[in-house]
A = this chain, B = another copy of it.
Amino acid sequence: MADLAARRQEILDAALALADERGLDAVSMRAVAQRVGVTPMALYPYIGNKDALLDGLVDRLLANLLPTLRLDGSWPQRMRGLCRAARALARAHPATFSLLWSRPSVTPDAVRVVDAIYQALLDAGVPPAEVPRVERMVSTFVLGFATSEANGRFRAGSINPRGRRGQFAPDEVPAHRQLAEWLDKDLDLDAEFEADLDDLERLIRAIASANA
């Protein structure tokens, strides 16, 4: 039984490494099996099928988040630490991270992470009735930022901002024109993430004091 769990971990580790190195499309039963040094069919007793393997990959990912949880410190420190850890996870495993949207994890580890956010929001003074909604708002945004960064969404069309505007007639995209000066600057996503966290914190304080 311990061997079964160990073999399962070995398989998931191989799959995660494969996803990191060659993308999600390269994670085939055949390729994972070869990496483990076994025939494709030998994986099935341990992981069920391809679908369950991807679920397992998501759980493996979230397990990495748990050790970063801190119980000491102020609520903004704890919340920001968790948000930064999520972003770091997306950078470390960009291909696998996207699976979090389609394969939500309900493992004990995932619940513990959510609990940490709940606790931070309660400590911030958010009314209990609002906490679940605000948790979903915060985690949705952080997941979105991390996914966008990992997938290059934030750089869409900003590689050549002049080209982006160039294809339009004058005043067809007036706001782009008005913002030309700032759109030409290149992105500092570290700074942007911190600024976003500042805004989230500000919003949480506003929600807390509006209902105080």
Contact = CB atoms under 8 A, between A and B. Distances in A.
Contacts of A208: none
Contacts of A100: 153
Interface string A138-157: 00110111011001111011
Nearest to A141: B141
A102 interface: yes
Main secondary structure of the interface of A (DSSP, over half): helix
Given A101-B101, A106-B164, A132 B199 contact: no
Number of this chain's copies in the assembly equals 2
**Range, interface on chain A:** 35 or more
B119 A174 contact: yes
Contacts of A203: 199, 202-203, 206
Given A118-B179, A119-B174, A164-B111, A156 B106 contact: yes
Contacts of A136: 148, 154, 192
A144 B136 CA distance: 10
A105 interface: yes
Nearest to A172: B112
A102 B122 CA distance: 34
A122 B173 contact: no
Contact of A207 (B105, B137, B199): B199
Contacts of A196: 133, 137
Nearest to A153: B104
Interface of A: 98, 100-102, 104-106, 108, 110-112, 114-116, 118-119, 122, 128-129, 131-133, 136-137, 140-141, 143-145, 147-148, 151-154, 156-157, 164, 167-168, 172-176, 178-179, 181-183, 192, 195-196, 199, 202-203, 206-207
